[in-house]
Amino acid sequence: MQQVYDENAPKKATNLSINSDLLIKARNLKINLSATLEHALVSDVRKAERKKWQIENKEAINALNELAENNGLFSDSYRDF
């Protein structure tokens, strides 16, 4: 799978605002906030980039689907389902 970001890029400190009760509970459970945020951001960035790609390529996807609908697929003769 293609990487969403450069995993070797240096870390950068940032300030965040988090619900204080949630922060206390996460710290008590020894949850790594940085790792958790990075994991969530990777997921959200991947979803947003996928959506952006689909929008940018909608015409081509529709054209390909129409072509396949009108002419079938090369592999149709090999399908047994």
Cα–Cα distance for residue pair 57/21, rounded to 1 Å:
43
pLDDT attached to residue 74: 82
- What integer best gives the mean pLDDT of the chain? 93
Task: Kindly report, residue by residue over 41-78, the tens digit of the pLDDT.
Answer: 999 999 999 999 999 999 999 999 999 999 988 887 78
In terms of Cα–Cα distance, which of 10, 7, 26 is closest to 18? 26
Instruction: Supply the pTM of this predicted model.
Output: 0.72
Fill in the amino acid letter for 65.
Answer: N
For residue 1, what pLDDT band results from cuts at 50, 70 and 90? low
Q: Are 45 and 8 in contact (CB under 8 A)?
A: no
Q: Which percentage of the chain shows pLDDT scores above 70?
A: 98
Helices (H), 3-57: 20-28, 33-56
Sorted by where each begins, the domain ranges of the chain are 20-73
More confident site: 2 or 14: 14
Cα 60–chain centre separation:
21
At residue 80, does pLDDT exceed 80?
Answer: no
